[in-house]
Amino acid sequence: MVDIGAKIRSTRLKLGLTQEELAARTELSKGFISQLERNLTSPSIATLVDILEALGTDTAAFFTASDANEKVVFTPDDMFESENGDLRSKICWLVPNAQKNALEPILVSIEPGGSTAEDDPHEGEEFGYVLSGNIILILGSKRLKLKKGDSFCFKPIEPHYIINSSKREAKLVWVATPPSF
């Protein structure tokens, strides 16, 4: 049996909507949305259809899709790798189809003297953690040196990329929100 209130709440949160935003999209009150999500009230069929439409789904998908079937663990067999011979770097997408998620984690390997492709400014944030080697993070005109164990976090409002400044391969986990790699 589907817990309608919990599923509406979960779907709303996945979309990054507040109860007020969902209420405004459906011309319902925030109080009604709150009561509905806590199963203190039940919607009419017409109201449920309006809510699901505002959440970008329909009754068939809402009642058949199961979060229990959503893949959570990924093995190397699930991952996709892309190599750029000119830049002497490799990207491994750690979560397949991450474009549907709020964030996109990748594993970046850069040969000595290599770099990632330059990324243009965009919305969101970026985070990285250096697993091995020494890198230089280029943020516009800034050159920031990082070594194994260092991390970075920034709003990508300037062109940015990474250079391997060491004499051995550098590896880092890099996460972008929203997905942009």
Q: What's the whole-model pTM score? A: 0.63
Mean pLDDT of the chain: 90
Question: What is the reported pLDDT for 181?
Answer: 65
SS3 149: coil
Give the ranges where the chain is alpha helix by DSSP (H): 4-14, 19-26, 30-37, 45-54, 59-64
Superfamily of domain 76-177: Jelly Rolls (2.60.120.10)
Q: How far apart are CA 126 and CA 71, in angstroms?
A: 24
Query: Is the CB of residue 161 less than 8 Å from the CB of residue 117?
Result: yes
**Residue 139 has what pLDDT?**
97
The H or E element that residue 108 is part of is strand 104-110
User: Within the chain, which residues score under 70 in pLDDT?
Assistant: 1, 65-70, 97-100, 181
Q: Which DSSP string do the residues of 51-83 spell out, in sequence order?
A: HHHHTT--HHHHHH--GGGS-----GGG-EEEE
Written as six digits, the tokens of 57 are 């789904």
The per-residue pLDDT for 69 is 61
CA distance 147 to 90: 19
| CATH superfamily assigned to domain 4-69 | lambda repressor-like DNA-binding domains (1.10.260.40)
Provide the pLDDT for residue 171.
97
For residue 98, the model assigns a pLDDT of 63
pLDDT of residue 16: 87
What are φ and ψ of residue 37, in 5° steps?
A: -65, -25
Starting at the earlier edge strand, list the strands of the sheet with 80-84: 80-84, 89-93, 104-110, 170-177, 125-132, 151-154
* pLDDT for position 44: 93
Confidence at residue 100, expressed as pLDDT on a 0 to 100 scale? 66
Question: What one-letter code names the amino acid at 8?
Answer: I
Residue 157 confidence (pLDDT): 96
Residue ranges matching CATH 1.10.260.40 in the chain: 4-69
Q: Which ranges in the chain are annotated with CATH 2.60.120.10? A: 76-177
